[in-house]
């Protein structure tokens, strides 16, 4: 068996993507989680790029003990010195130096001859060895480099002391078959390649970063550069979670390869990155997307309930997701609906009652993208024993500004009566929620609050999601509007109406002995 080294570049290449910048403190927090994940090498940044990057590399080097901490450096003494200085606090350090080797980069970017590039590459590796024995060399744009020159450079840097030689598909140009062949050709044409680990760094411009990385591994690569959630320049890098789980799930194909990644930490790591950067993972993202272990189609749900392996090739728990999710929507069948009713505690319903509820469920599912447990309970509440009237917003008004005390007034319809309430707060949202609390006569605590845009432009529709603690019970709610304050008010009321319904359900269950 051969171990595949996982080199994580979330904090360097990943952070270079627009919208993914992190503070020093956030980088340290992310690095500690990457350490928990079991990443072999953490590229903490580009120490010479800025004061902030230097501090980040330095702080990560102080905090991380189990993983190797790495800094990127151009093939310049000044860059390498900065990297060495930033990495000084740790014994487990690596300097990753690079220079481009493709004709287009050498001519138009570097304005250097191949001979000059070769000299620079060797000098950089030798100089980096003054700071650490663990030196990695990258031949930038290796995929578009002339083969014979690439072989020559790799041989020379290995002789100079590079322990890892990295083959980047810098612009995401390669096809898996080509990448696999390139690694095989390097093994066959670089005489001293047995003295170094071959690494790959694949970009996703054609959507092939993971496929190219796996093709390289199959052909002898011993290290893969990757990022959490596949973030990175342009279309991103190879997604760490996809590379790792492909190797774990397809042991029949990658017979002699394993990683030391603790896969149960994958989902947690993905979500931490989202929280730190304010980003979202697309729902259909492999491994960590909201839909990765979600099933809505009736046929799939029936098969999954009968035997998980019919429609899942890995367990949700293996990547840290609590369980697979049966998503109830317009494609769901009666079998899944009945199963969810039983899971919610409604085991004594008659076939007639279930049929009646299923008809209403289908009507609701045609209007909503997803039907939640609270929606099902509302159906039961409405159809089988009692109806209730939701509290709705009739009007709201906000006074705020740098010279004014934030004040909110809300007008609600509560059981046919208009109730008006006014309250002050720390800001427009806080004052609005306090006014709602006063109008409803409840004590609540805001546990979580998030905003995302559902469209673009100055009149963009925004969605607010909240988690509110009512009497020790956490309830979620959401609201949408072009006005973020209105969306916040709607989200709070949505949560309160769900809480109100739950209390009624609890009383009903006790009464009916469910």
Is 201 annotated in a binding site? The answer is yes
The DSSP letter of residue 268 is H
User: For the CA atoms of 102, 104, 109, 112, what is the dihedral angle to 10 degrees?
Assistant: 70
Q: Exposed, middle or buried by CB within 10 Å (0-12, 13-18, 19+), for 44?
A: buried
The kind and range of the H/E element at 94 are strand 93-100
| Among 32, 27, 29, 20, residue whose Cα is nearest residue 45 | 27
- Given a contact cutoff of 8 angstroms between Cβ atoms, the answer to whether 452 and 463 are in contact is yes
Is 130 annotated in a binding site? The answer is no
Count of residues in the chain: 514
- Given a contact cutoff of 8 angstroms between Cβ atoms, the answer to whether 463 and 449 are in contact is no
User: For the CA atoms of 190, 193, 196, 198, what is the dihedral angle to 10 degrees?
Assistant: 70
- Given a contact cutoff of 8 angstroms between Cβ atoms, the answer to whether 224 and 243 are in contact is yes
Cα–Cα dist 3/38, whole Å: 13
Cα–Cα dist 61/128, whole Å: 17
Cα–Cα dist 225/6, whole Å: 6
Other Cβ atoms within 10 Å of 55 Cβ, number: 17
HEC string for 389-451: CCCEEEEEEEECCCCCCCEEEEEEEECCEEEEEEEECCCHHHHHHHHHHHHHCCCEEEEEEEE
Is 237 annotated in a binding site? The answer is yes
The DSSP letter of residue 50 is -
Cα–Cα dist 60/73, whole Å: 17
- Given a contact cutoff of 8 angstroms between Cβ atoms, the answer to whether 69 and 98 are in contact is no
Annotated binding-site ranges for Mn(2+)? 13, 201, 203, 237
Annotated binding-site ranges? 13, 201, 203, 237
């Amino acid at each position: 068996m051969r171990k595949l080294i996982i080199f994580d570049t979330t904090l360097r290449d990943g952070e270079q993507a627009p919208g993914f910048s992190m503070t020093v403190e956030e980088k340290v927090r992310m690095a500690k989680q990457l350490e928990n994940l079991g990443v072999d090498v953490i590229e903490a940044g580009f120490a010479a790029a800025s004061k902030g990057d230097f501090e980040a590399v330095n702080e990560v080097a102080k905090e991380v003990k189990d993983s190797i901490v790495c800094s990127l450096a151009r093939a310049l003494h000044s860059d390498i010195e900065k990297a060495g200085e930033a990495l000084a606090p740790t014994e487990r350090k690596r300097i990753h130096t690079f220079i481009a080797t493709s004709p287009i980069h050498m001519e138009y970017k570097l304005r250097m001859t191949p001979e000059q590039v070769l000299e620079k590459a060797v000098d950089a590796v030798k100089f980096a060895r003054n700071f650490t024995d663990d030196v990695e060399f990258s031949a930038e744009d290796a995929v578009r480099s002339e083969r014979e020159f690439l072989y020559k450079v790799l041989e020379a840097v290995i002789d100079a002391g590079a322990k890892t030689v990295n083959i980047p598909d810098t612009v995401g140009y390669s096809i898996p078959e080509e990448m696999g062949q390139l690694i095989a050709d390097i093994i066959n044409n670089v005489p001293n390649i047995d003295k170094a680990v071959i690494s790959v760094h694949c970009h996703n411009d054609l959507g092939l970063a993971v496929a190219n990385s796996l093709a390289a591994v199959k052909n002898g690569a011993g290290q893969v550069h990757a990022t959490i959630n596949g973030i990175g320049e342009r279309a991103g890098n190879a997604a760490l979670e996809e590379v790792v789980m492909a190797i774990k799930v397809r042991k029949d194909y990658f017979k002699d390869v394993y990683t030391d990644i603790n896969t149960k930490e994958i989902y947690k790591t993905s979500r931490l990155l989202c929280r730190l950067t304010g980003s979202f993972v697309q729902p259909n993202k492999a491994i960590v997307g909201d839909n990765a272990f979600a099933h809505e189609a009736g046929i799939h749900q029936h098969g999954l309930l009968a035997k998980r392996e019919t429609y899942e090739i890995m367990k949700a728990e293996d990547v840290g997701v609590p369980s697979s999710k049966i998503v109830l929507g317009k494609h769901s069948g009666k079998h899944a609906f009945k199963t969810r009713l039983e899971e919610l505690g409604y085991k004594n319903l008659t076939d007639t009652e279930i049929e009646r509820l299923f008809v209403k469920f289908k009507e609701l599912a045609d209007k909503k993208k997803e039907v939640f447990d609270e929606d099902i309970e509302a159906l039961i509440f409405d159809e089988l024993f009692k109806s209730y009237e939701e509290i709705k917003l009739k009007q709201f008004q906000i006074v705020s500004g740098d010279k004014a005390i934030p004040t909110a007034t809300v007008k609600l319809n509560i059981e046919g009566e208009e109730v008006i309430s006014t309250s002050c707060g720390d800001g427009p949202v806080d004052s609005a929620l306090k006014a709602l609390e006063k109008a409803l006569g409840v004590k609540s605590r805001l546990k979580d609050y998030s905003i995302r845009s559902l469209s673009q432009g100055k009149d963009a529709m925004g969605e607010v999601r909240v988690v509110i603690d009512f009497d020790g019970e956490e309830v979620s709610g959401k609201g949408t509007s072009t006005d973020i304050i209105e969306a916040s008010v709607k989200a709070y009321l949505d949560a309160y109406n769900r809480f109100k319904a739950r209390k009624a359900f609890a009383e009903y269950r006790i009464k009916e002995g469910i």
